[in-house]
Amino acid sequence: MTASKNAVAIRRCYLQYNAMVQSYHKLVSIGAWYGSVSVRALHDSSKRMLNTSLKTPYEALIFVKNLSEDSFVMTVLNVS
């Protein structure tokens, strides 16, 4: 039972992580056109998806950028 709960938790973590990374890459490309509007959208989506306590949109941008570059998470989740 515990193993299946752990698998569900890891799966949920991966889905949230994947959504954040995809949002980051999409919003960075949009940011070239719209500037800080995309950063605000990233902040809002990160607060909704991860229930984070990020204070500013730029904290959200840095947080997600670090996630997308974090090879440890990719290794733990066996994602290539």
Rounded to an integer, what distance in angstroms lies between the CA atom of residue 63 and that of residue 42? 10
Model pLDDT, residue 23? 65
* CB of 58 closer than 8 Å to CB of 36: no
Alpha-carbon torsion (6, 50, 42, 75), positive or negative:
negative
Threshold 0.95, pTM exceeds: no
Model pLDDT, residue 70? 52
How far is residue 41 CA from its own chain's centroid? 12
- pLDDT tens, residue by residue, 27-48: 555 555 545 555 666 666 666 6
Q: Which residues contact 19 (CB under 8 A, 6 or more apart)?
A: 49
